[in-house]
């Protein structure tokens, strides 16, 4: 690399930053992953960059049987976000194992396989079917899809049901298990503690928030499925807050953070809140190259702040604030 300008100096420092991360004992070359549901099984993104250059590819949640999903319309734009009501469309586990997973393995991608079920037994069966499959780095257990017919199937909204699913999956696999949590709960730390107690090795946070848009001409919900999951920058502060709360309660549990990440600085917020890696989702619909740009921006931001490793910033926002001393303030303990 020619050293001819100030910029080259920054670039050289940026390339010195160690971007490697380890999640539940599994090493990834960098902390930028795709988000489940936003890049299918990675094929489409491979036209824009090499999927092996991602930290990992998180696949669309797969179920036991092929599914066509919910009726259309199933997308609606919102300020700084979008609503989806896909309804777990997918090929089913057998086709996934025959086609998608081998494709990811052949392309040297690290697959984080997201599974979803409508019963505890279905989750267990999926984990069993994936046992021994090549190229599975982690299992992401999606217990928080908002687009199901029965809200009772949003296992992540009840500590007991969430734990039951994770316990059943844990029994069937040796691969580290990440539980994907919903923000639509009163106390996310309670749910996080329950799934960790049940054997989750890490947490993916957060899934979309349940929302609705009404068409003001028809005065009916825009989505055929009525409600949908809200994603995009609108939910980022909710996600950062959730990551913060869970990291504060369980600092040793690895977190894959997601929710409205569009830039390297957005990713940095999640890391400082306590995530060890991040997933980039909604933004890839409009900007498919975003994960690589975000990775470069994050590397640059870390270099500019003097960090030698991305691991150094994980949870940094939890350190005590530096006290601000104002000139007319009385020193503590001075007589009033």
Binding residues vs ligand RRO (CB under 6 A)? 37, 61, 84, 86-88, 116, 142, 145-147, 207-208, 229
In angstroms, what is the minimal distance from the CB of 184 to ligand RRO?
11
Nearest distance from residue 174's CB to ligand RRO, in Å? 25
The least CB distance from residue 296 to ligand RRO, in Å, is 28
Q: CB of 9: closest distance to ligand RRO in angstroms?
A: 43
Which residue, 94 or 149, has its beta carbon nearer to ligand RRO?
149
When the beta carbons of 30 and 142 are compared against ligand RRO, the nearer one is 142
147 vs 283, beta carbon nearer ligand RRO = 147
Q: Shortest CA distance to 124 belongs to which of 79, 181, 170, 62?
A: 170
Which residue is at the shortest CB distance from ligand RRO?
Answer: 229
Contacts of 133 (CB under 8 A, 6+ apart): 97, 101
Least CB distance to ligand RRO at residue 240 (A): 18
Active site residue 157: no
User: Nearer to ligand RRO by C-beta: 55 or 146?
Assistant: 146
Q: By C-beta, is 36 or 201 nearer to ligand RRO?
A: 36
Give the residues across from 210 on adjacent strands: 229
CA distance 157 to 185: 6
Candidates 21, 115, 145, 191; catalytic one: 145
Q: From the CB of residue 74, how many other CB atoms can be counted at a distance below 10 Å?
A: 19
Q: Which residues are catalytic?
A: 145
């Amino acid at each position: 690399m020619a050293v001819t300008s100030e910029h080259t100096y920054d670039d050289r420092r940026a390339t010195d930053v160690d971007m490697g991360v380890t999640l539940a004992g599994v090493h990834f070359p960098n902390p930028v992953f795709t988000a489940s549901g936003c890049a299918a099984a990675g094929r489409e993104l491979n036209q824009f960059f090499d999927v092996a250059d991602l930290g990992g590819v998180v696949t669309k949640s797969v179920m036991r049987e092929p599914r066509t999903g919910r009726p259309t319309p199933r997308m609606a734009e919102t300020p700084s976000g979008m609503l989806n009501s896909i309804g777990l469309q997918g090929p089913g586990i057998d086709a996934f194992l025959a086609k998608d997973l081998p494709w990811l393995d052949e392309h040297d991608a690290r697959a984080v396989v997201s599974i979803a079920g409508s019963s505890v037994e279905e989750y267990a069966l999926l984990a069993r079917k994936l046992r021994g499959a090549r190229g599975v780095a982690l299992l992401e257990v999606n217990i928080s899809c908002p687009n199901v017919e029965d809200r009772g199937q949003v296992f992540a909204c009840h500590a007991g049901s969430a734990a039951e699913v994770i316990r059943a999956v844990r029994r069937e696999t040796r691969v580290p298990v990440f539980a994907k949590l919903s923000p639509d709960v009163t106390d996310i730390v309670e749910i996080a503690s329950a799934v960790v107690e049940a054997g989750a090795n890490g947490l993916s946070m957060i899934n979309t928030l349940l929302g609705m848009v009404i068409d003001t001409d028809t005065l009916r919900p825009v989505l055929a499925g009525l409600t949908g999951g809200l994603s995009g920058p609108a939910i980022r502060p909710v996600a950062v807050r959730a990551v913060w709360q869970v990291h504060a309660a369980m600092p040793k549990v690895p977190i894959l953070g997601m929710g409205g990440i569009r830039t390297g600085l957005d990713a940095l917020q999640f890391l400082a809140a306590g995530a060890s890696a991040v997933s980039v989702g909604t933004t890839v619909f409009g900007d498919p190259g975003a994960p690589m740009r975000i990775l470069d921006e994050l590397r640059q931001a870390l270099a500019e702040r003097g960090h030698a490793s991305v691991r150094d910033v994980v949870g940094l926002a939890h350190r005590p604030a530096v006290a601000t001393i104002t000139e007319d303030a009385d020193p503590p303990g001075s007589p009033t």
